[in-house]
Amino acid sequence: MILCDIMKKAPWFRRREAKDILISVLALSFVFSYPESILNPVFLLYSLFAVGLGFMGHELSHRYVARRLGYWAEFRMWNQGIMFALLLAFITNGGFVFAAPGAVVFSSYWAFERPSRAHVGRIGIAGVVFNISLMYALLALGIFVSHPVLGLAAFVNGWLAIFNLIPFGPLDGGKVLAWNWKAWALAMGLAAAGLGISVLA
């Protein structure tokens, strides 16, 4: 109980976690804005807003739900993921975005206690729910306010949701699918529909 209390009272953001988030946001913002940002640096600022909002909201949603469920949770940068994302952006000339520069890692405070499938699924879908909700909010706002950053932010959030729902490897999709396939299908359907609207708008 003493260890648990100490961890729960730790600073909301440790220095390493804040650094990892900042580097990940900068790298992903560049990837989403390439190659347009090379000719028009303003587009990079738009991307920083769109990606910063969507990516941080996604990861912090994972983190928040994990902590609410009683787990230790922090964001960790994935160096290989960032390098692969940059390399893929250059190879495809921005045609495909690999959106996995890092992830929230979580575990029980006790060595022999493993997270249940339901908890893993709920933590996994939390980030996707944030992206889908923000995407539709931005699309609705775009009806009344005309600005390219709103469309970009909606697109980024839709892509983050769909990419993370892919049931492969460490992505959220496999965790959600193993927990509740109906929740996975609903989230994928909403994300795909919203992304389609953002592309056509």
Pull the structure tokens for residue 178: 């193993």
Q: Are 128 and 184 in contact (CB under 8 A)?
A: no
Q: Which residues are catalytic?
A: 59
pLDDT above 90 covers a percentage of the chain that reads: 76
- Compute the CA torsion angle 76, 77, 81, 84 (nearest 10 deg): 180
At residue 11, the pLDDT reads 52
Phi then psi for 102, rounded to 5 degrees? 175, -175
Question: Among 124, 106, 126, which residue's Cα sits nearest to residue 114?
Answer: 106
**Extents of the domains making up the chain:** 2-200
Give the pTM.
0.87
Q: Are 104 and 78 in contact (CB under 8 A)?
A: no
Pull the structure tokens for residue 167: 């049931």
Measured CA to CA, the distance from residue 201 to residue 198 in angstroms comes to: 5
pLDDT at 192 over 90: yes
- As a whole number, mean pLDDT of residues 83-100 equals 91
**What mean pLDDT value characterizes the chain?**
90
- As a whole number, mean pLDDT of residues 27-38 equals 92
User: For 127-168, how does the pLDDT look when each residue is reduced to its tens digit (9 = 90+)?
Assistant: 999 999 999 999 999 999 988 899 999 999 999 999 999 998
Pull the structure tokens for residue 122: 């709920």
pLDDT at 28 over 90: yes
At residue 8, the pLDDT reads 46
Cα-based distances in Å from 190 to 26, 66, 120, 184, 196: 27, 24, 21, 10, 10
Q: Where are the alpha helices (DSSP H) in 35-147?
A: 36-39, 42-68, 79-91, 117-144
- As a whole number, mean pLDDT of residues 74-94 equals 94
Upper half-sphere CA count for residue 154 (Cβ side, 13 Å): 26
